[in-house]
Amino acid sequence: MSGCSQSPIDLGVAVPSEPLDLAIDYSPSVHHGHDAGTTHNVPVSSGHSISYGGRGYELDSYHFHTPSEHSIAGEFAAAEIHLVHTNAAGDVAVLGVLVDEKEEAAGPLHFGEPTSIESLLPDTTTHYAYEGSLTRPPYTEGVVWIVMKERITRRPEWIETFKEQYGANNRPLQPLNGRTVTLG
């Protein structure tokens, strides 16, 4: 099943690097999600894309993890959002957004409350990048991981309502096995 380039990993090993060009082109729109067993999954209609390192990807769906799956030097965030993109060539790119809990945060009280898609993104595009895998079966490798350095915030109620329904649904950290993680 799983090989030697699995996700998630600790990103604290990142090396500052000249980043690949990242352009996020999401149109303001609201999508409705559903209970997908281990997480809340939100399918997305067409019309949202990213360009990364000269390759284009279309956004297919997004979902949530608590606590975060990726850690930074051993520290996990309260939650992590995964925006899953694919393209006609079969490439997969996942954009990860770490979520900190904040008492007075803007945004919804409940994770399932439909929110406009661009509210899931931080303001800046500095990001960690590495090659890894899906973090759910079938753990397919060759996934381009882009984890945003800047985080978004959500209220404690948002985190709590997720945990009440799904508990901790983060996959354990996987060995780096010599891979390079960049930050830029």
Q: How far apart are CA 72 and CA 149, in angstroms?
A: 10
Q: Interacting stretch for Zn ion, rule CB under 5 A, among 47-55, 81-89, 154-162, 172-180?
A: 81-89
Cβ distance to Zn ion smaller for residue 40 or 48: 40
Q: How far apart are CA 30 and CA 44, in angstroms?
A: 9
Cβ distance to Zn ion smaller for residue 105 or 139: 139
> Phi and psi dihedrals of 21, rounded to 5?
-65, 125
49, 34 contact by CB (below 8 A): no
Which residue do the tokens 């990860």 mark?
A: 96
Q: How many residues bind Zn ion (CB under 5 A)?
A: 1
Strand partners, 35: 40
From candidates 40, 48, 70, 82, binder to Zn ion by CB under 5 A = 82
Q: Interacting stretch for Zn ion, rule CB under 5 A, among 11-19, 77-85, 100-108, 111-119?
A: 77-85
Alpha helical stretches, state H, the chain: 156-166
Cβ distance to Zn ion smaller for residue 22 or 134: 134
Q: Interacting stretch for Zn ion, rule CB under 5 A, among 44-52, 80-88, 120-128, 164-172?
A: 80-88
Shortest CB 82 distance to Zn ion, Å? 3
Residues 6+ positions from 110 with CB-CB distance below 8 Å: 157, 158, 161
Residue 85 interacts with Zn ion (CB under 5 A): yes or no: no
Q: Interacting stretch for Zn ion, rule CB under 5 A, among 2-10, 74-82, 140-148, 162-170?
A: 74-82
Closest by CA to 165, choosing from 33, 49, 12, 21, is 33
Cβ distance to Zn ion smaller for residue 70 or 82: 82
User: Site residues (CB under 5 A) for Zn ion?
Assistant: 82
